[in-house]
Amino acid sequence: MLGAIVLVTAIWGFNFIVIKVGVAGVPPLFLAALRFTLSAFPAVFLVKRPAVPVRLLAAYGLLLGVGEFGFLFTAMKLGAAPGVSSLILQSQAFFTVLLAAWALREKIRVHSLIGMVIAGAGLALIARESLGGSAASITIWPLSMVVAAAFFWAAANIVAQKMPKADGLSLMIWSSVFSPIPLFALSFVFERSSIAASLAALRPISVGALAYLVILSTLFGYGAWNQLIMKHGAKKIAPFSLLVPVFGVASSALVFHERFTRLTAFAAILVLSGLALHALGSVALSSAARGKENGR
């Protein structure tokens, strides 16, 4: 189990490097459209559709494909560095809690509130660095887009929660059917002047980046991760997603020599600490509750 977890989180952490490479040669919305087109076809003809309402599949595909990755790819094109982006995107955990409280009437626990405050302080410090112009890793507009991507990921999580029995790989493939058309439409509106030029000058590294995004990050990554969740339970597996920004920051430092200022590094520690308190606090409470039940 641990080996599979480390492999998937490493793939997702390095995914930010691949996105940066991909958007350097292909317009971001067009690249996202290609990603979800190839994630859906031809796999949609080989994998059975999950037994869930089409409206939920469509909502998940639009929120994840158009919302999260549309914003994330564009932010990376506008200069967001891979390491700090992988960190900020994990704020989806807190957006998920807030949306679940609003949409599903789920109770927000004290440890989650404290974790949100700590991580929020870290994000505020990163924003302060950006506004002050002292952070080389990200500026305010890309920062805002990564936060927006995290929000849409959280909204997709809420939709996924309404489909608890759906197979992870099947859900990913069939929901991807709904992402390409709006992404291609947005790309035509905002990127049509650069699409032809990028295709004419398409390099092998861009094709390789697209293959990584489709095969490793999307189909294998989501399929394996959801399989782990179905076998071992979400509460046991989900906290390991904290490894993603660790791999993201490390790989960005190795490949792009991304360096944090002391203040940004402190902010990163705050964000990870808040996330850990939120995720691991839930596990601790569940273990305590089971202990009480067994002691009766």
Q: Which amino acid is at 160?
A: A
Between 93 and 33, the more confident residue is 33
* Residue that is written with structure tokens 């202990």 in the block: 291
118, 177 Cβ separation under 8 angstroms: no
Residue 123 main-chain phi, psi, to 5 deg: -65, -35
In this predicted structure, what is the pLDDT of residue 27?
97
Q: How far apart are CA 256 and CA 270, in angstroms?
A: 23
The token pair at 239 is 């906290």
Q: How far is CA 217 from CA 8, 17, 179, in A?
A: 8, 12, 16
Residue pair 277/114 in contact by the 8 Å Cβ criterion: yes
In whole angstroms, give the CA distance from residue 138 to residue 131: 10
Burial class of 292 by CB neighbour count within 10 A (0 to 12, 13 to 18, 19+):
exposed
- Answer whether 230's CB lies under 8 Å from 168's CB: yes
| Rounded Cα gap, residues 206 and 83, in angstroms | 20
Most confident option among 67-81, 164-178, 258-272: 67-81
d(CA 93, CA 259): 25
Cβ contact 198:22 at 8 Å: no
Query: Hey, how many other C-beta atoms are within 10 angstroms of the C-beta on 51?
Result: 10
Token pair for residue 33?
A: 């459209």
Pair 74, 80: CB distance under 8 Å: no
Give the three-state DSSP class for 50. coil
Taking Cα atoms as reference points, which of 86, 74, 95 lies closest to residue 23? 74
Return the DSSP state at 42: T
Q: pLDDT-derived band of residue 282, with 50, 70 and 90 as boundaries?
A: low
For residue 283, the model assigns a pLDDT of 55
CA 89 to chain centre: 6
- pLDDT of the residue at 286: 54
Structure tokens at 206: 């861009």
Mean pLDDT, the chain, whole residue set: 85
Q: Give the model confidence (pLDDT) of 225-243 as tens digits.
A: 877 776 776 556 766 777 8
Least confident of 143-152, 170-179, 246-255, 270-279: 270-279
- Residue 178: CB atoms within 10 Å: 21
